[in-house]
Structure 1
Amino acid sequence: MELHVVINGRKDLAGQLYQQLRSAIETGRLAAGTQLPPSRLLAEQLGISRKTISDTYSQLTYENFLTGVTGKGTYVNARPAKIQRKQSHSELASSEVVESWRNLPVFLRHPTLEGSLRYDFIGGATSKGQFPQDDWRRCTSHALRQIAGSKGFYSLPEGLPALRNAIARHIAFSRGVNCQDEDVVVCNGAQQALDLIGRVLLRPGSLVAMEDPGYPPARLLFGSHGATVVGVPVDAEGIQVELIPDGTRLIYVTPSHQFPLGMPMSQARREALLARARELGAIIIEDDYDSEFRYEGRPTDSLQSMDERGIVAYVGTFSKTLLPELRLGYAILPPAILEAVIRAKQLTDLHTSTLPQWALAKFIAEGCLLKHIRRCHTIYAGRRERILARMAGDLSPWLEAVPTVAGFHMVALCKVPIDVTLVIELARKVEVGLYSIEGFFYQQAPRAGLLMGFGAIETLDIDTALDRVRDILQQVA
């Protein structure tokens, strides 16, 4: 038979062949029972090695797309008919629980490669081009050697000792956190740290106070534990402590770079928050998600460094400093909840994958992380300055930047009535990704504005993108 396969370039030949053959089988272009060309013949026709063909055939045979008949050749397998499972979730005894999860809103989901825009001001994402691939590849090779020499047992739920030590030293230096190795629990991102703390502190009806506007995934997570979440207003100094209600068990704050507005919590407000938490017997979660990037003034120490009573759980992540795909975060826990959180971690997933843990431990120990942060700091500072200049210039009739001195996003509030939804829609048509802050408000009246992330957009693209935003604002405002 004549098999139509196109090989582009000389990279990932096996992957190209595999994808085309699998697609042809799944779409029916290669019908069940069709004989494929012998590996030697197809290799000659495509100009690639016979081993590449044989390996691809083997993989597809293993996945039951192909079958080999001794002495005859390789044939396309008949695909099993898809079973139509007709039961609806509404028929389940747990239908109310399932429905509550199905109805949860989706926040801050990053687009796929196919859905990404040319100029994107998305928050929480970094420029992948800045990631030190060579250093990470070398550290990953080290990790593979460590795993090869291990006995193959499950690891510690709290994390590898080498990584816990590296994290403790790093945050003591960069953020003034007061901790020892044994206070660190390694997690699958900061979100798991929030989940674990919530698991050991909350029961249905427990009261949680958090900033409003604030971080929706944290609010939804605490709510999924049955907690009642109260949105506490913020002002220029941070969360308004006097409005934290009696009976609160857990207080969630972002004191170094308030999410999403960006202002830091004042010293007086920090002291008041600690005093209020002691009065309530509450634990404070300090989410320090991106404050290692600071551009003005003296770096503020962490809230945890001011804690003398063991009531602050400090949560950090490497998703912002390195890559979101790594899914590595950590919690520095007070003694009162440390062992409980370790038990909860063991119960939920046993432990975080040791391969990235070993790699990150070496990456930090060799100074690669600090070097990477310094490099990115310079780049992000330039992007921030460019956006601020445009906000103070030709965008000033419509937008005003909220003062922020850390991180890699800022908020631009609308100075005049603007249909933000329409602006975002029109921007997408010209390949610019903009994002409203409305969804970050919970119980407070939302303000009109845009979250302007500058971690993922390239510096040279900022003016081009903002030119298009200006043209749209002139059109709709």
Structure 2
Amino acid sequence: MEIHIAVEGHHDLSGQIYRQLRAGILEGRLAGGTRLPSTRDLATQLGVSRKTTLDVFERLLSEGYLTARAGSGTFVADGLERLPVERSPHARAAEASRDRSTIRRKDAARALPLWEQMPESLPPRPSVPSPYDFIGGATDRTLFPFDVWRRCVNHALRAQARGAGIYREAAGEQELRLAISRYLAFNRAVSSNWEEVIVTQGAQHALDLLARITLGPGEVAAIEDPGYPPAHACFMATGARVAHVPVDSEGLVVGKLPDNARVVYVTPSHQFPLGMPMSLERRVELLEWAQKRGAVIIEDDYDCEYRFEGRPMEPLKSLDRAGLVAYVGTFSKTIFPELRVGYVVPPASLYVPLVKARQIADWHGCTLTQTALASFMLNGDFAKHLRRMHKTYAARRATLLDHLQGGLAPWFEPIVPTAGIHMAARLRAPLTEEAVVSAARAASIGLYGLAPFHQRVKPQAGLIFGYGNIGEQQIDTALKKLASILPRLAS
């Protein structure tokens, strides 16, 4: 059979073919079970090399869009036709009306006694002497190009001096929203107009705004277990009930979601804290589940920029054709947390309520920082910084993995992620999490257990190794010290 694919020029041939095949699958033009032509026949049809079509098929196979059957050929994967599609204007209007009634805040006197129920927002960080600290979520400020950033800030100061001195848009500075939309389209396959982007004071602020407009007291928010404690705290603060849903090797177990969940919070690209990505089949299942129940999916893509193995798994947002996913991102893991800049690309139905909630809370963020960051991104300096840091973090990750699979192998079973700046590892018996953390701290090594990230699921002893703010040599020295400690601890 022949497939209608248009190849223009000689630039990015594999990318052109990949995007058109993927679009045909997602839009239903290539139904599940459809047998595709062989890579040789497709190359002949399109007038390209067979290596080009092989690369395309390998990528689609690795991402789950295609399946290979020995002796039979390559077929479109079953199940993708279940992806929700945009509903009719009448159905959207009915849902919007239902959403407006749902998001009205209930009388404050009826609120639950929240603060007695609030968990610790983050596991406490002990005081550990530098430089052997494996804290997660931290970046290396010493490698940030502050000379370039200074020029961007000076540009922002000049722009501010020329301004009218009035309140700005609650959604953020237009230049930064444009820079974010371009970045997401190129790097994360999230297509959005700049007017759909809302700038926030970090990812946590985005979660807070989303919780405010989607949850009322007594309503249910579902989060991963183990998962991100600040998300738990954020949903509890609205008076919502939080359901803790287990994860497995494919990510969130959709079959365990409560039917009455109004919001589902997930980290599909790099599950926090364990690190595995959500499989394509599970993503389709989650989108299907959310549409049937009118739920909102909050996708936290917190450190997707650093990928070290395999091809990138595109976000849930890129599969969402029905307006179900609010996509949340942050610059805390690419620049540094003190910047306090994040963003959300919400479904169209939530955009206006989010902007109103932002305006009520603090009107808008720091325009100086936003203008400087826009300049940093639009001038190409952000992309250069990411490339430099990717090489640095790749080397640190390799050193960490060498130790976990080498001298520390008798004690650890690493859960090797494809992306991110931390790695989780399970402890082998008879070692206990508390004993290892305590012994390491006595040796001036900062290690952090996985137990605080569990809520209902019984935790399996393990550690989280952040390598964003510890150098390659320090990782090597610290883990050699740890390898000398653990045999005595086990005995």
Of residues 442, 457, 467, the one that matches 2:470 is: 457
Residue in 2 aligned with 1:213? 226
- Is structure 2 residue 127 aligned with structure 1 residue 107? no
| Cα pair distance change 1:97/1:240, threshold 3 Å | closer
Post-superposition Cα deviations, 1:257-306, rounded to whole Å, max 9, x if no partner, equal 00000010111111001000001100000000001100011111111000
| Cα pair distance change 1:257/1:349, threshold 3 Å | same
CA distance in 1, matches of 2:148, 2:206: 27
Report if aligned partners of 1:419, 1:476 keep a CA contact under 8 Å in 2: no
| Cα pair distance change 1:116/1:310, threshold 3 Å | farther
- Is structure 2 residue 307 aligned with structure 1 residue 299? no
* 1:390 to partner: Cα distance: 0.8
Residue in 2 aligned with 1:71? none
* 1:154 to partner: Cα distance: 1.3
Task: Give the alignment of 1:293-372 within 5 angstroms.
Answer: 293-372=306-385
* 1:110 to partner: Cα distance: 5.8
- Is structure 2 residue 436 aligned with structure 1 residue 393? no
Q: Which amino acid aligns with 1:160?
A: E
Identity, in percent, stands at: 48
Residue in 1 aligned with 2:19? none
TM-score normalised by length of structure 2 = 0.75
| Cα pair distance change 1:361/1:383, threshold 3 Å | same
Q: Which amino acid aligns with 2:116?
A: S
Residue in 2 aligned with 1:235? 248
CA distance in 2, matches of 1:443, 1:364: 41
Residue in 1 aligned with 2:38? none
Task: Give the alignment of 1:176-191 within 5 angstroms.
Answer: 176-191=189-204
CA distance in 2, matches of 1:116, 1:346: 42
* 1:108 to partner: Cα distance: 4.7
| Cα pair distance change 1:116/1:107, threshold 3 Å | farther
Report if aligned partners of 2:224, 2:245 keep a CA contact under 8 Å in 1: yes
Size of the aligned set, in residue pairs, is 382
RMSD: 1.8
| Cα pair distance change 1:97/1:208, threshold 3 Å | closer
Task: Give the alignment of 1:30-429 within 5 angstroms.
Answer: 100=116, 104-108=119-123, 116-429=129-442
Q: Which amino acid aligns with 1:385?
A: A
* 1:430 to partner: Cα distance: 1.9
The 3-state SS of whatever aligns with 1:443 is coil
Structure 2 stretches lacking a partner, 5+ long? 1-108
Report if aligned partners of 1:127, 1:457 keep a CA contact under 8 Å in 2: yes
CA distance in 2, matches of 1:208, 1:269: 19
Report if aligned partners of 1:289, 1:320 keep a CA contact under 8 Å in 2: yes
Post-superposition Cα deviations, 1:91-139, rounded to whole Å, max 9, x if no partner, equal xx99x958528x642415667xx86532111000011111111111110
Q: Which amino acid aligns with 2:122?
A: F
The 3-state SS of whatever aligns with 2:458 is coil
Post-superposition Cα deviations, 1:344-375, rounded to whole Å, max 9, x if no partner, equal 00001110111100000000000111111110
* 1:475 to partner: Cα distance: 1.8
CA distance in 2, matches of 1:423, 1:286: 33
* 1:403 to partner: Cα distance: 2.2
* 1:445 to partner: Cα distance: 0.5
Post-superposition Cα deviations, 1:165-204, rounded to whole Å, max 9, x if no partner, equal 0000011111111211111000000000000000000001
CA distance in 1, matches of 2:359, 2:115: 28
| Cα pair distance change 1:108/1:131, threshold 3 Å | farther
CA distance in 1, matches of 2:115, 2:474: 43
Post-superposition Cα deviations, 1:191-245, rounded to whole Å, max 9, x if no partner, equal 0000000000000111111111110110111011111111111111111111111
The structure with the larger Rg is: 1
